[in-house]
Amino acid sequence: MALHKFTRNELDSILSNVVGKTLGEADVNNIFERTITKPKITGIAGDVVEQSILGYPADSDSNPDLLVDNVPTELKTTGIRKPKQKNSDFIYEAKEPMSITAVSVNKIVNEEFDNSKFWSKLEHLLLVYYNYNSTETVSAAEYANFYIEGYHFHEFSEEDKEILKNDWTLVRDFIRHLQETYPDPTTEYHRLSSELRKDLMLIDTAPKYPNPPRFRLKRLTVSTIVQKHFGEKLEKLDETYSSFKELDAELHRLTKKYKGKTVRELIDLLGINIKLNKNGDVAKGVTQQIIVKMFGGKAKKLSQIELFSKVGIIPKTIVQTTKGTRTEDMKLFTINFDEWTSDTFETEEGEIKPMTFEDSFVYSYFNEHQFLCIVFEEPSAKAKLLDNKFLGFKRLAIDENVLHTDVRATWDQVRHLIKNGLLVDVPDLKKDGTQKCGFKTGIPMSAPNFPKSEEYNFFIRGTGEDSSKKPFSINGVQMYYQQLWIKGKVVIEMLKEIDFI
């Protein structure tokens, strides 16, 4: 099918006129009427942009949609939302990953990046953003209430193009390897998504084979594009890293340079301004500043560095004894229980399906993120953080088997408790059986019967200082805001299986 021709000026005029309107208000051709007889219709937002705003008929051509000033351009209608994580640095985040094109296992092996179907869809993009302003999955008709927040023409930087090229090449070469190694490679294609997860920076593939997999920009990658468009300032490092292999090489160089130095020495060497707490020590957050400074950055947090933000690197401080044992439990994220207990989820195409673990937020969190563990050794149990010695870096991606056993067990149990009315408030008892009381308030202490560390490797614990002020309620049970944690012993066991970078 022929590309739909526009000039850049025409598109600017058309799209600027609908920014600030709802999709329903922009729907001059009554596309939403279809939702009356087909309430589960998919892709309604994209249909409105294509058929009502730009005025061309629907088509399923795999080539870019538009010809803008004679440049083939892919149109993507993309949902954005306010971040669900509390205390986020950003105004908006992407609602979901961005589907690009099919992973055609029989064609990709004969392609090179520059002439690949994948790059042809990404080289020139027109992104139209609508605000998915709902905490729950909505019907197709309800999309009419979502506002169009903006649009822009996007071209990836040379740095990002190189990362995309390396990611795509990893996928292509993995498929080539399977085809060259196995008589029937179709029995091995299911490994594609899980085995490359740790190595892909900006993209992933989903769903799992034998369902036809597609290339996707990770949600975090799309979020970074969104945040930059809406004026967020992310720091760019002087050096560029086009693959995790290159990033690991730099981490190895930094380890050789700084290994054996104490936190106190690193702070002095790197020129970090700190304030000591009342115990004459520093807060854990200083280790983030240490990593940023090692890379030559100025930001206070790794999430404010563009590279680490878009590839999903989360810094974690690991303190172990001289014998390589014990570390504190690791806090991951604050739980959104509406999302955790939802019965349905919405696909990238807008189709509403029954929720499965692999479609849940908790699974996608681990699928998109890796932990950059900066490992220290404490000279004694009572030592200050300032005296801990830097040993090096380890990069931890939670294994697929762990996701489907330990993490899923916690996810299932939380859903079971809430959905079946079994969530209760349990007194926090001393060894003698009497109830603990708050040190400052004297109020009896209690907590909901969510999965605890005694039974679960991934467990739930609330954060709060005053037991008289529990701001959150589920099924009538008052509680602090709750976070997902990994047991410290489990973290150490995982890290023992990983070499220092």
- Statement to judge: residues 440 and 392 lie in one domain: no
In a domain, 135, yes or no: yes
Strands (E), 214-334: 214-217, 313-320, 330-334
Q: Considering its fold, how many domains does the chain have in total?
A: 3
Which pLDDT does position 164 carry in this prediction? 98
- Statement to judge: residues 57 and 9 lie in one domain: yes
Position 73 confidence tier, pLDDT thresholds 50, 70, 90: very high
pLDDT at 298 over 70: yes
Q: At what angle do helices 263-270 and 286-294 cross, to 10 degrees?
A: 50
Average pLDDT over residues 139-149: 94
The answer to which of 169-183, 376-390, 435-449 has the lowest mean pLDDT is 435-449
Query: What CATH number corresponds to the domain at position 92?
Result: 3.40.600
- d(Cα 130, Cα 150) in Å, to the nearest integer? 7
- Statement to judge: residues 19 and 146 lie in one domain: yes
- Statement to judge: residues 149 and 13 lie in one domain: yes
Higher pLDDT, 172 or 355: 172
- Statement to judge: residues 330 and 298 lie in one domain: yes
pLDDT at 438 over 80: no
- Statement to judge: residues 218 and 254 lie in one domain: no
In a domain, 61, yes or no: yes
Task: For residue 74, give the DSSP letter.
Answer: E
Which pLDDT does position 176 carry in this prediction? 97
pLDDT at 2 over 70: no
Q: Where are the alpha helices (DSSP H) in 341-452?
A: 361-368, 400-402, 408-419
- Statement to judge: residues 472 and 359 lie in one domain: no
Phi, psi for residue 12 in degrees, rounded to 5: -60, -45
Q: Can you give the residue range of the structural domain that contains 412?
A: 406-488
Average pLDDT over residues 108-132: 97
**Cis peptide, bond prior to residue 210, ω within 30 of zero:** yes
In a domain, 174, yes or no: no
Tokens matching residue 10: 């025409």
Average pLDDT over residues 229-245: 91
The helix (run of H) or strand (run of E) holding residue 154 is strand 148-154
Tens digits of per-residue pLDDT, 180-224? 999 999 999 999 988 999 999 999 998 888 888 999 999 999 999
pLDDT at 470 over 90: no
- d(Cα 180, Cα 173) in Å, to the nearest integer? 10
- Statement to judge: residues 64 and 159 lie in one domain: yes
Average pLDDT over residues 151-158: 96
- d(Cα 407, Cα 486) in Å, to the nearest integer? 9
pTM: 0.89
Position 60 confidence tier, pLDDT thresholds 50, 70, 90: low
Q: Which of 175, 202, 229 is at the close of a domain? A: 229
Structural contact between residues 339 and 84, judged by C-beta atoms closer than 8 angstroms: yes
- d(Cα 189, Cα 106) in Å, to the nearest integer? 12
Average pLDDT over residues 468-484: 89
- Statement to judge: residues 424 and 387 lie in one domain: no
pLDDT at 88 over 70: no
Tens digits of per-residue pLDDT, 401-429? 999 999 999 999 999 999 999 999 988 88
Position 86 confidence tier, pLDDT thresholds 50, 70, 90: low
- d(Cα 254, Cα 395) in Å, to the nearest integer? 14
Of 36, 28, 35, whose CA–CA distance to 52 is shortest? 28
Share of the chain above pLDDT 90, in %: 66
Q: Mean pLDDT for the chain?
A: 90
In a domain, 189, yes or no: no
Average pLDDT over residues 150-175: 97
Among 262-266, 296-300, 303-307, which range has the highest average pLDDT? 262-266
pLDDT at 1 over 60: no
- Statement to judge: residues 365 and 423 lie in one domain: no
Give the Å distances, CA to CA, from 66 to 54, 438, 476.
10, 64, 53
Tens digits of per-residue pLDDT, 320-377? 888 777 778 999 999 989 888 988 887 776 677 889 998 898 999 998 999 999 999 9
- Statement to judge: residues 313 and 282 lie in one domain: yes
- d(Cα 222, Cα 2) in Å, to the nearest integer? 28
